[in-house]
Amino acid sequence: MSTKLATPQELLSLGRVELGTSSWVQITQEQVNEFADATGDRQWIHIDTERAKSGPFGGTIVHGYLTLALAPAFLDEVLEIASYDAVLNYGVNKVRFPAPLHVGARVRGHVTLLSAKLRDKGTVEATYGIKYEIEGKDRPPCAAESVYLYQ
């Protein structure tokens, strides 16, 4: 399921609505290692596959912030806006990481438009609820409210 709009202004009339669910994405150990290198977060639970086998999660887990960073890809897949000048990640209102996401597991995002409002100079501020789902698991690895500005 995806939602197609001509302009960001159409978000203003939607109210709170589920926009869709993304495809499954599998995060590899290579992606986790590259994220660790890029951010300096090289904690062993993420990158040391041998040590992590006997750790608290039984294997390496994806960084919470790498999981959160999937939000734009999930949003882009479920919401198509044909015409805008720019879209900016404005911030995050709430983020929680209720369950670990194991490297190699598949994850997807359920995206809901929580609110949209008109700001100055025609900018639309949209807040999206994104609930991540791990295939075959009950608890989400992440739940977030992401805010974007459309100009």
Mean pLDDT confidence for 111-125: 96
Query: Which pTM value belongs to this model?
Result: 0.93
Q: Is 35 exposed, middle or buried (0-12, 13-18, 19+ CB in 10 A)?
A: buried
Q: Residue 18: its pLDDT value, please?
A: 96
Q: What percent of the chain has pLDDT over 70?
A: 99
- Domain for residue 113, yes or no? yes
Q: What percent of the chain has pLDDT over 90?
A: 97
- Domain for residue 132, yes or no? yes
Q: Residue 42: its pLDDT value, please?
A: 97
Q: Residue 1: its pLDDT value, please?
A: 60
- Domain for residue 53, yes or no? no
- Domain for residue 35, yes or no? no
Looking at the DSSP assignment, which residues form a beta bridge with residue 123?
none
The boundaries of the domain holding residue 141 are: 3-26+61-150
Non-local (6+) Cβ contacts of 131 within 8 A are 109, 110, 112, 140, 142, 143
Mean pLDDT confidence for 95-101: 98
- Domain for residue 31, yes or no? no
Q: Residue 2: its pLDDT value, please?
A: 84
Domain count within the chain: 1
- Domain for residue 7, yes or no? yes
Q: Residue 9: its pLDDT value, please?
A: 97
- Domain for residue 145, yes or no? yes
CATH code at 14? 3.10.129.10
- Domain for residue 135, yes or no? yes
pLDDT digits (tens, 9 = 90+) for 10-49: 999 999 999 999 999 999 999 999 999 999 999 999 999 9
Q: For residue 15, how many other CB atoms are within 10 A of its CB?
A: 10
Q: In the numeric block, which tokens belong to residue 113?
A: 């438009």
CA distance 129 to 139: 16
Mean pLDDT, rounded, of the chain: 97
pLDDT digits (tens, 9 = 90+) for 65-74: 999 999 999 9
